[in-house]
Structure 1
């Protein structure tokens, strides 16, 4: 299981194939080719990327 790159927590729910939701941070994570992509869910349901807030090491999927 992947850890949240923001809070390092394990409180993740699976919402789709390789897609997770962190219940601590309220952010969505997806894993693509061993790299985590981080998104904030906006009020209208759209996603905004938060990848620029993390370095490459943080976004490397640790299984």
Structure 2
């Protein structure tokens, strides 16, 4: 698997189907074959970045 942001393979596994990109500091999760991209905020919460990487069909 490659990071959709930096295209790097420097990913660490942090949970079941959850990964962390050490190059760009994003968290990735895989659900039903779809990679979800999240930014980790200062308070530890996650903000979805899917709208930046994936465009809807409508």
TM-score, reference length from structure 2: 0.91
Within 2, Cα distance between the matches of 1:38 and 1:3?
Answer: 12
Matched, 1:5 2:4: yes
TM-score, reference length from structure 1: 0.84
Structure 1 unaligned runs (5+)? 57-63
Task: Considering Cα pairs closer than 8 Å and 6+ residues apart, tell me whether 1 or 2 has the greater RCO.
Answer: 1
Superposed counterparts of 1:44-59, under 5 Å = 44-55=43-54
* Poorly superposed stretches of 4+, deviation over 4 Å: none
Structure 2 unaligned runs (5+)? none
Within 1, Cα distance between the matches of 2:16 and 2:54?
Answer: 24
Within 1, Cα distance between the matches of 2:24 and 2:51?
Answer: 16
Within 1, Cα distance between the matches of 2:18 and 2:54?
Answer: 20
Instruction: Report the Cα offset of residue 55 of structure 1.
Output: 2.6
Within 1, Cα distance between the matches of 2:39 and 2:25?
Answer: 7
Matched length: 55
